[in-house]
Structure 1
Amino acid sequence: MSESTQAWVAAGVRAVIGAHTQAQDAGRTDDVVALYTPDGVLELPGADPVQGHDALREAFKGWAPTQPQLHMVTNTTVDSAGPDEATAASDVAFFQRGEAGWAPLVVGHYVDTFRQVDGAWLIQRRVTTYQT
């Protein structure tokens, strides 16, 4: 794969990760769900996998923010398996703002699998782990 193709894949994947984070923190459930393939899967520690747009929509609706929140996603590495497939690994810290100001609540790690569908990069699987 050429360097320009690798750069294009990495830029597309990072854009989806950023769009997901901003939509989730703003409570834009439909925008989050649109970033997953129709059979997309979200795995969280201690919970059954959430699969498909309908299940993802219900899950993200239930997690809609009730106070200001911020996911800080960083240290993302992208590996492409071809022009239509990629994986990414990222660190994440989750903050909420309360009466005392911003406080970190969770630190974790994402491993994402992406597919390009009709020219758009979409998340096929997100596996989340928490650091203790």
Structure 2
Amino acid sequence: MSESTLAWVAAGVRGVIGAHTQAQDAGRTDEVVALYAPDAVLELPGMDPIEGHDALRDAFKSWAPTQPQLHLVTNTVVTSTTEDEVTATSDVAFLQRGESGWAVQLVGHYDDTLRRHEGVWRLHRRSTTFQ
């Protein structure tokens, strides 16, 4: 794969991750779900895997913010790529604003697999670990 193609793929991955983060923090559930492939799986510590758009929609609705929040995603690195599948890792810090200001609630790591779906990159699997 050429260097320019890799740069284009990395930009697409970061675009999906950034759009996900902003939509989730704003409580725009349908926008979050649209970033996942129909058969996507979300894995979170201590929970059964969440599979498919309906289950993802239910989960993200239940996590809709009740106070200002930010997922700060950084250090995203594309770890492998083919024409139709990409894997990437990112660090994440989750902050919420309360009465005393912003506070870090969680720090973790995303392992993402994205696949082309109808010509665009969509999350196919996200595995989250907390540190």
Q: TM-score normalized by structure 2?
A: 0.98
Answering whether residue 100 of structure 2 is matched by residue 95 of structure 1, we say no
SS at match of 2:40: strand
Residue 55 of structure 2 corresponds to residue 55 of structure 1 = yes
State the TM-score, normalizing by the size of structure 1.
0.97
Give how far 1:82 is off. Answer: 1.2
Q: Match for residue 69 of structure 1? A: 69
Partner in structure 2 of residue 130 of structure 1: 130
Moved over 2 A (4+): none
Question: How many positions carry a matched residue from both structures?
Answer: 131
- Decide whether the 8 Å contact of 1:5 with 1:83 is kept in 2: no
How many angstroms apart in 1 are the aligned matches of 2:15 and 2:80?
A: 15
Is 2:16 the counterpart of 1:21? no
Report the alpha carbon displacement of residue 4 of structure 1 after superposing the two structures with TM. Answer: 1.1
TM-fit CA distance, 1:121: 0.5
Contiguous gaps of at least 5 residues in structure 2: none
- Please, which runs of 5 or more residues in structure 1 have no aligned partner? none
* 1:73–1:93 CA contact under 8 A, matched in 2: yes
**Root mean square deviation of aligned Cα:** 0.7
